[in-house]
Structure formats: structure tokens, C-alpha cells
């Protein structure tokens, strides 16, 4: 029964890898994933779809070994979590302080409707179908895009609509 209560405290808390190595692994993987998601994965009508969740889960699974070489202690896990939080906070801080950096890492708004005319090239760029855009119009109480002065895909993925009547 003694095996039930036996704990290897050194194994639980003592890192088996260097803390700098863990920080570097976490940094490289975080920044690489950040860049890849910024370039490849685009926003989708302000929501997270099933494929977005699948991409996130698969990226987490695949990068797990790259971030840490079989880490096992709480200390190592904590260093990696803190590294991810550090970079996330630093990027958010830099976006709020430096407009040029914000333009680099944040999506720009994209016009989808101009004076009642759908801009299909811009819609294709964001993989928005006519049906999806029309659904957004209906959700805003509009039946036709001719009632729209302008519609934009905002940086957060939401569609903002400016009606012709000014409402």
C-alpha cells in the first residue's frame, strides 16, 4: 500500500531540460504558429467553425513535441505556459503601442459591398459566398444589397453594414 502514497517530488517539480531551452522552444513554436495562422487561416464571419477548431486541435497536437522534448515536470510545463502567455501579451501590447506593428499583424477591413454592388473579388479573397453575405444582410433587416451603402469584413471577422437610409 505504500506505493499508493509514494511521490517522486524531484520528478514532479525539477526540470529535466534547461529552462532557456524550454523558453526558446516555446518561443520558436509560438511565433511560427502565429505567423502561419496569420498568413494561412483567415477569419470567417466572426465565428469559429468546426474546421477552425479542428485546425487548432491538430496544431496543438502536432506542435506538442516540437515545443518540448518529452517534458514531464510541472516546472517545465509552467515555463512553456508562461512563454506562450508572454508572447501573447507582448504582441497585444505592441499592437496597442505601435500602429505599424498593428497593421502588420492584424487583418485590415475589407469592403464587400460598395453602393449596393457586391465586390465578388473581395468576397472570394475571404471565401465568402453570396449566400453567407445575404444571410448577414437579412440578420440586419435588409433583403437586398441595393439597400446597402457599404459593407465591410472587419478585422475581427464580423461584417459591418452601412445602410443607404443611414440607419
pLDDT at 1 over 80: no
Coil, strand or helix: which one is 32?
helix
End-to-end CA distance of the chain: 73
Kindly report the backbone phi and psi dihedral angles of residue 160, in degrees, each rounded to the nearest multiple of 5, phi listed first.
-105, 140
pLDDT at 50 over 60: no
Sign of the torsion angle spanned by Cα atoms 126, 130, 132, 133 = positive
Kindly report the backbone phi and psi dihedral angles of residue 151, in degrees, each rounded to the nearest multiple of 5, phi listed first.
-135, 140
To the nearest whole number, what is the mean pLDDT of the chain?
80
For cell 453570396, what's the residue? 130
Domain that residue 38 falls in:
9-105
Which of 2-6, 30-34, 76-80, 148-152 has the weakest average pLDDT? 76-80
Residue 118 per-residue DSSP state: E
Residue 34 CB neighbour total at 10 angstroms: 14
Q: Is 96 in the same domain as 115? A: no
- Write out pLDDT tens, residues 102-130: 888 777 789 999 999 999 999 998 888 99
Q: Is 98 in the same domain as 140? A: no
Q: Is 30 in the same domain as 98? A: yes
Report yes or no on 62 lying in a domain. Answer: yes
Give the Cα separation of 37 and 92 in Å (integer): 16
Q: Evaluate whether 9 touches 63 at the Cβ level (below 8 Å).
A: no
pLDDT at 49 over 60: no
Per-residue model confidence (pLDDT) at position 43: 52
Identify the domain boundary among 57, 74, 105. 105
Q: Is 68 in the same domain as 120? A: no
Amino acid at each position: 500500500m505504500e506505493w499508493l502514497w509514494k511521490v517522486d517530488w524531484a520528478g514532479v517539480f525539477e526540470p529535466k531540460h534547461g529552462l532557456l531551452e524550454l523558453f526558446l522552444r516555446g518561443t520558436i513554436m509560438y511565433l511560427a504558429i502565429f505567423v502561419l495562422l496569420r498568413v494561412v487561416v483567415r477569419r470567417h464571419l466572426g465565428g469559429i467553425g468546426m474546421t477552425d477548431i479542428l485546425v487548432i486541435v491538430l496544431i496543438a497536437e502536432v506542435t506538442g513535441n516540437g515545443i518540448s522534448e518529452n517534458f514531464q515536470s510541472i516546472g517545465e510545463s509552467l515555463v512553456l505556459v508562461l512563454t506562450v502567455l508572454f508572447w501573447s501579451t507582448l504582441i497585444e501590447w505592441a499592437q496597442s503601442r505601435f500602429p505599424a506593428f498593428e497593421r502588420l499583424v492584424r487583418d485590415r477591413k475589407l469592403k464587400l459591398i460598395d453602393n449596393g454592388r457586391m465586390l465578388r473579388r473581395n468576397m472570394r479573397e475571404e471565401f465568402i459566398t453570396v449566400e453567407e453575405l445575404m444571410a448577414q444582410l437579412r440578420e440586419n433587416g435588409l433583403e437586398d444589397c441595393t439597400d446597402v451603402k457599404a459593407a465591410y469584413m472587419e478585422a475581427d471577422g464580423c461584417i459591418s453594414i452601412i445602410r443607404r437610409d443611414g440607419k
